[in-house]
Structure 1
Amino acid sequence: MSHRAPDHTPPPPSPGGVAPHARTTLIVVCLGVFMLLLDMTIVSAALADIQSDLSADLSGLQWVVDGYALPMAAFLLTAATLGDRLGRKRMYVGGLILFVAASIGCALAGSITVLDAVRVVQGLGGAIMLGVSLPMIAAVYPAGTGRSTAIAIYGAVMGAGSAAGPLLGGALVDAFGWPSIFLVNIPIGAIALVFALMRVNESLGDTTRRVDVVGTVTLSITLVAAVYAIIEGNAKGWTSPLILGLFALAALFAIAFVVWELRVSDPLMDLSVVRRPGFAGVSLAAFITSGTLIAATNYLALYFMNTLQFTPFEAGVRALPLTIACVIGAPLGMVITRKLPMHQVVPLSTALIAAGLWAMTGISADTGWTHFITGMVVAGLGVGMMSAIASDAALTFVREADAGMATGVVSTARQVGTVIGIAGMGALFTHFATASARDDLGSLTVGGVPVDVPASDSAAITDGLGSGAGLQILSFIPEQYSAALTEITRLIRDSSAAGLQAALLAAATAATVFTLVVYGLIRADRHRSASAAAPERELHDGHPAHSSSQ
């Protein structure tokens, strides 16, 4: 008896061109990406409690974030290819189940090592979901039938997920403890799963496209080696054989990745697309958005809780200017793209981020939280705009046939930016906080009388400050220093401010430099004809291009 292979061809479009259950598919995808982006920022509200409960140092906390973002950066494009071959709905559901299961594992973690490891699994589930999300939308919204609006909604939801993290996380941590920030994924995931199984149709892409295993492996090794070296550089020594060897390994595999991608017939990342100036500019803008402000929010949250002594919820409330600005920035970005060309809107977004970061600098021991309000508002508008327009902006500069690859590369650039930003800013924070503390401890006096601080006590204090522990250090200061508590408190505030100042200065400088580069790259493409993008578009019309179903 013969058996028919299952038919994964999407049902024919309705008279209006949109496939049945298109809105449900969009809702399911948006629920998933909201959860993914929420988990990127919600942990910022829990870092101080995780640090205290699990006795974690700063590198352990960095891996809580980077362990989640690394798999997304490394496997997102591979997940998209597997979705084309195996079915996007099937991959999405599998990734969703893995993500929620790992979320439960995170909540049950009894050590920082276990938490970091399970976050990697969670990130892998997220990579699978994110890799097939835009192709799922494109499959039910054919070009010219509201796809641009659907993609803009998708981008706005991503921005909302990122923005909601600090406040929602603070409320959950204060009320139920840090494990609750992971358990909140259960109801969201359950709703998405039920609707995905019942109302989302299966779709396939190019089933002849092969999975680029070599590209995936070389990219993964490059990212892991580079990030581990940056995170551990302060502790191991920047010139130690291990750190230098890891940087060399990262460089070697980065070269191998590029060489392989140029030669293989079905590359993980089509470098001919990446080489286009306008597209490279948008990808760089996505990278720098995540690598500066999104990364900085984690260290800002630690500073609010450990140095300014706010509870997680109080810290989340004080981050509301950033949250509200992100939410406003998303529709603002969509409106501006109808008035201005993309070669102006994209660098405008990153320029706002740079300006906001500069406004946050100038920190001292006496700096209160209100110092950061202006910067959070300005930078938040920029992040919200980029979240809403990034995918469509990238599609403005590529052919319809390359749209799937383009959106995947931009999403990957976001995750790589987060990974590098968290690691780099953490290295700067640790270096400058410990250097400041070491200098101040060497000249510590009470009433003009020098205080002798043994090397062991000095190391404990400087290590704690380098980990962002802030005033929590006072809880383990030996009794013999009770007369110097006022001076030590001032020292802690000075050192914490020095670390955050260095991280924010680096982020502001990077955002400024890359904004100029982004503007130059995108402006170079401003005369490209509509044949280089979607058929009905000109670069100068300012409207987002349509994506393909990949």
Structure 2
Amino acid sequence: MSASVDTVGVPADPATEAATRAPGRAWTLAIVSIATFMLMLDLTVVNVALPDLRNALNADFSGLQWVLDAYALTLAAFLLTGGSLADRLGRKRVFITGFAVFTAASLLCGASTDVLTLNLARGLQGVGAAVLFAVGPALLGQEFRGKDRAMAFGVFGGVSGLAIAFGPLIGGALTSGVGWRWIFLVNVPIGVVAIVLSALRIRESREPSAHGVDWAGLVLFSVALGALVLGFLRGEAEGWTSPLILCLFAASALLLAVFVLVERRLGGAGMLDLSLFRNRTFNGISAATLLGNAAGMASIFLEVSYVQNVLGATPWQAGLRFLPLTLVLFVVAAVTGSLTVAVPPRLLVGTAMALMAGGLLAIRLIDVHSGWTAMLPSMLLTGAGMGMFNPPRASVSIGVAEPARAGMAAGMGETFQQVGIAIGIAGFGALFQHRVGDAFAAAVPGFPPGARQEVAAGAGEQVAQGAGALRATVAEAARAAFVHGLSDVLTICAAVAAFASAIAFTTLRRSDLHESAVAH
């Protein structure tokens, strides 16, 4: 184990370091896990409260979309910024600041009296979440080495999966029990306690040779990524070839090009070390992260919609039905965490993506008349793949860089993850809408385009109710269109996951990792 560097850049004695670090490591892992659970939960928990939000705030469809989009947009745009600032200003300081922003924004969300205020608060909440997402893995990498790091990232990966899977369950319980405001307000007391514990228990660290803040890089990258994600989020609603969406994509490409030129000129003083892109393993894990999250998260959102809208489950019942996936994910993540040192990362990540591909393909076992148990093979395989993927993904993402640049590396890794989620949900969601709409139109021609969109959104029963004597026929056609669309799109998701598996098997190498990531 190499000696760490404290806040003033003086190497610590290894024996003293081990003795002083051990008690704080457990606290660091616990606090980062709490933060991760809260952040991942906020990606999914809001969905089930949208009907209540619409009624309480008199929100239209566009306003409700921005409740989701504002958080996802700022979260993706500020990840690398948060990680880079943490390396320069101090990871503990920036982490606490991010927690304070997230907690204050959660309070504003819960106190909102109109949808505009809520959406502005959600955007601020995403900024705080981006900082926590980026700095959390760097804090773990700072405190843990070798087998201990493997264990820590196993817990980290398991907690992420639990939050995603339990989102609908927790959201349904809070919304039904104490009201929609508490899906945000519950973050406040937890956040306050976590901030106090962070101040008392987390050890400070920063890059010893840190330069000044790269403000040009921060602005260029954040705006460029924000334009890219916004284009994907709004593409279906505005039209993929509309002037607005084309301008967003063009602006993103132009700003990213300028960002690369600026970072190349600044060299080591820039916010992003461009030499990472000469690292084969960094490129491989980045591609696998983007593709795997695009396929996996899109599938979960579509499957939750199927269970709720086609099978008629309440949010609480839907959460219960996804427990097989949740439990398998958590167990496999915990086991995989202990293997990340002993087993080459290409085997873990490649196998994880292959399992996910098999699980997504297994959704073809369901048919129009299936119950939820027909999804079990898909749930078990997909859960195993996701659980096996998260620990090595997080570990490799920071392992490609020296510990002094851990925040930057973690921010870049989380950026690929969140961009993958945004692209996957928007892209595969749009494809799903088209497949369902076309299948429904072919089965019962004559319905207006709006009916096709309602069927794709899961409102097939409502469409059928207005069909008079054809109600049974229309209901059956809507159900069949939804199921066939789900099978078709998840088959494509399976192909994407299989491609990610091939990338992992052929690109990831332990020799590309920094010694702190592989030491026993």
1:340-489 paired onto structure 2 within 5 Å = 340-361=343-364, 364-395=367-398, 397-399=400-402, 402-442=405-445, 458-473=448-463, 478=466, 481-489=467-475
2:518 is matched with: 545
- Offset of residue 424 of structure 1: 0.8
Counterpart in the other structure of 1:447? none
Aligned residues: 510
Is the alpha carbon distance of 1:289 and 1:104 closer, same or farther for their aligned partners in structure 2, counting shifts above 3 Å?
A: farther
CA-based RMSD: 3.3
Q: 1:431 to 1:268 in 2, by over 3 A?
A: farther
Q: Secondary structure, in 3 states, of the residue corresponding to 1:21?
A: helix
1:112 is displaced (CA, Å) by 5.5
Q: For the Cα contact (< 8 Å) 2:99–2:195, is it kept in 1?
A: yes
Q: Distance in 1 between matches of 2:239 and 2:484?
A: 20
Equivalent of 1:41, from 40, 44, 66?
44
Which of the numbers 168, 178, 199 marks the counterpart of 1:176? 178
Q: 2:261 aligns with which of 254, 259, 262?
A: 259
3-state SS of the aligned residue for 2:45?
helix
Residues 28-55 of structure 1 show CA distances to partners (whole Å, capped at 9, x for unaligned) of 2221122112222333444566577778
Taking structure 1 as reference, are residues 78 and 43 closer, same or farther at Cα in structure 2, changes over 3 Å only?
same
**Shift of residue 356, structure 1, vs aligned partner:** 0.8
Distance (Å, rounded) in 2 between the aligned partners of 1:152 and 1:29: 13
- Residue 201 of structure 2: aligned partner: 199
Residue of structure 1 equivalent to 2:4: none
Aligned counterpart for 2:496 among listed residues 507, 510, 514: 510
1:107-145 deviation line (CA, Å, top 9, x unaligned):
345666554443221111111222322333444x37569
2:30 paired residue number = 27
Cα distance in 2 between the residues matched to 1:290 and 1:38: 16
**1:533 match:** 513
Query: Counterparts of 1:52 and 1:374 in 2: how far apart (Å)?
Result: 38
Q: Does the aligned pair in 2 maintain the 1:92–1:132 contact within 8 Å? A: yes
Alpha carbons of structure 1 residues 337 and 130: separation in structure 2 relative to 1, 3 Å: closer
Q: Deviations over 1:343-374 (max 9, x none)?
A: 21111111111111111146554343223211
The alpha carbon displacement at 1:100 in A equals 2.0
1:334 and 2:334 are equivalent in the alignment: no
Q: CA deviation at 1:292?
A: 1.5
Given that 1:26 and 1:137 are in contact with CA atoms closer than 8 Å, whether structure 2 keeps it comes out as yes
Provide the rounded CA distance (Å) in 2 between the counterparts of 1:80 and 1:489: 50
Residues 157-183 of structure 1 show CA distances to partners (whole Å, capped at 9, x for unaligned) of: 333333332333333334334433323
What 5-or-longer segments of structure 1 have no aligned partner? 1-6, 444-452, 537-543
Is the 8 Å Cα contact of residues 356 and 376 (structure 1) preserved in structure 2? yes
**Structure 1 pair 535/153, CA: closer, same or farther in 2 (3 Å)?**
same
Structure-1 separation of matches of 2:482 and 2:311: 10
Give 1:500's aligned residue.
486
Counterpart secondary structure, 1:204 = coil
Runs of at least 5 residues in structure 2 that lack an aligned partner in the other structure = 1-6
1:296 matched residue in structure 2: 299
What pairs up with 1:5-404 in 2 under 5 angstroms?
13=16, 16=19, 18=21, 21-46=24-49, 63-109=66-112, 114-139=117-142, 141=143, 143=145, 146-206=148-208, 208-265=210-267, 266-337=269-340, 339-361=342-364, 364-395=367-398, 397-399=400-402, 402-404=405-407
**In 2, Cα distance between equivalents of 1:413 and 1:96:** 22
Alpha-carbon contact 2:110-2:182 (below 8 Å) kept: yes
Larger Rg: 1
- TM-superposed CA distance for 1:198, in Å, is 3.5
Q: CA deviation at 1:382?
A: 1.2
The 8 Å contact of residues 429 and 503 in structure 1, kept in 2 or not, is answered as yes
The 1:374–1:113 alpha-carbon spacing in structure 2 relative to 1, beyond 3 Å, is: farther
Q: How far 1:146 sits from its partner (Å)?
A: 4.0
* Percent of matched pairs sharing the same residue: 36
TM-score normalised by L of structure 2: 0.86
Structure with bigger helix share is 2
Is the 1:59–1:467 Cα contact (8 Å) retained in structure 2?
no
